[in-house]
A and B are shown apart, each in its own frame.
Chain A
Amino acid sequence: MSSPADRKYTRTHEWISVQGDVATIGVTDFAQSELGDITYLELPEVGGALSQDQAFAVIESVKAASDVYSPVDGEVVERNDDAIAAPERINQSPYDDAWLVRVRMKDTAQIDTLMDSGAYDEFAQSATH
């Protein structure tokens, strides 16, 4: 399955999709597959600050607790409470229903340094062992 072409990707397996200066952030299908059955999700409050490359959320699965890193600087304007209530949605629909937060970006140019879907798919392929 190749990743959606309408967004950008990080080396830590997050995706980010931009509409104007608001970006939606989630984790990729590769990430949910590596994590296994997800049992718990912790997200920041609306109004919270995100810093590029800093952990802003925690996803716990049967296997381990994992940090989720922000691709950009910004402020949380919306968070997905449905995903908190039913974290298994991240396994089922990582690109749609289980978006994690929406962020007002400080600097939209930060998107430019991220991978597109082709580069990410290659990256994820080489990460599989």
Chain B
Amino acid sequence: MPLYGNELADDISPLEAGLSWAVKLNKGDFVGRDEMVRLKESGVRRRTVGFRLLERAGSARHGYEVQQDGRKVGIVTSGAHSPTMGSEIGLALVDADAAGIGKPLDIVIRGRPVRAEQVKLPFYRRDRA
């Protein structure tokens, strides 16, 4: 879930934060509607993606730089240790063309790029009996 202060901020649109389902463009006017229509038509330039670290290097935390092929493509918006999954997971806001399952990311932790894989959200679904 996007959290204001992490995945949402003054400079992050709801479409980039994965909240397009909450933005109803066909239910009348609202403050900012023109901008939402414009963004939807031009395509979002950044996306919120889920990732999982592939090496033990500590947790990814808010603000850490995200790289791909050695160049900066975004930042970590939140990260945590997952006891359920036994790994470090997180969300990052990255350039749209860097997003996608199968495209590796490197999260810079204490100056060192740490390899991560992008994962589908939600990270975990409890099996229903």
The interface of chain A, by Cβ under 8 A from chain B, is 39-40, 42, 58, 60, 62, 65
B56 on the A face (CB < 8 A): yes
- Measured in the bound complex, the distance between the Cα atoms of B80 and A39 in whole Å is 10
B68 on the A face (CB < 8 A): no
- Measured in the bound complex, the distance between the Cα atoms of B58 and A42 in whole Å is 8
Contacts of B58 in A (CB 8 A): 39-40, 42, 58, 60, 65
B27 on the A face (CB < 8 A): no
- Measured CB to CB, the closest approach of chain A to B86, in angstroms, equals 11
Contacts of B81 in A (CB 8 A): 39-40, 60, 62
Interface of B, helix, strand, loop or mixed by DSSP: loop
- Which of chain B's residues 51-95 have a Cβ closer than 8 Å to chain A? 56-59, 61, 80-81
B128 on the A face (CB < 8 A): no
Q: List 18 A-B contacts (CB under 8 A).
A: A39-B58, A39-B81, A40-B57, A40-B58, A40-B59, A40-B81, A42-B58, A42-B110, A58-B58, A58-B110, A60-B58, A60-B59, A62-B80, A62-B81, A65-B58, A65-B59, A65-B61, A65-B110
Residues of B in contact, count (CB < 8 Å): 8
Contacts of A62 in B (CB 8 A): 80-81
With contacts A62-B80, A62-B81 taken as known, whether A39 is within 8 angstroms of B110 at the C-beta atoms is no
- Measured in the bound complex, the distance between the Cα atoms of B57 and A39 in whole Å is 10
- Which of chain B's residues 108-129 have a Cβ closer than 8 Å to chain A? 110
Contacts of A42 in B (CB 8 A): 58, 110
- Measured CB to CB, the closest approach of chain A to B123, in angstroms, equals 16
- Measured CB to CB, the closest approach of chain A to B87, in angstroms, equals 11
- Measured in the bound complex, the distance between the Cα atoms of B80 and A60 in whole Å is 11
- Mask: chain B, 22-58; 1 = CB below 8 Å from A; 0 = not: 0000000000000000000000000000000000111
- Measured CB to CB, the closest approach of chain B to A80, in angstroms, equals 16
Contacts of B57 in A (CB 8 A): 40
* List of 3 A-B pairs having minimum Cβ-Cβ separation, nearest first: A60-B58, A39-B81, A40-B58
Contact between A40 and B80, CB atoms less than 8 A apart: no
- Measured in the bound complex, the distance between the Cα atoms of B110 and A40 in whole Å is 13
- Measured in the bound complex, the distance between the Cα atoms of B59 and A62 in whole Å is 9
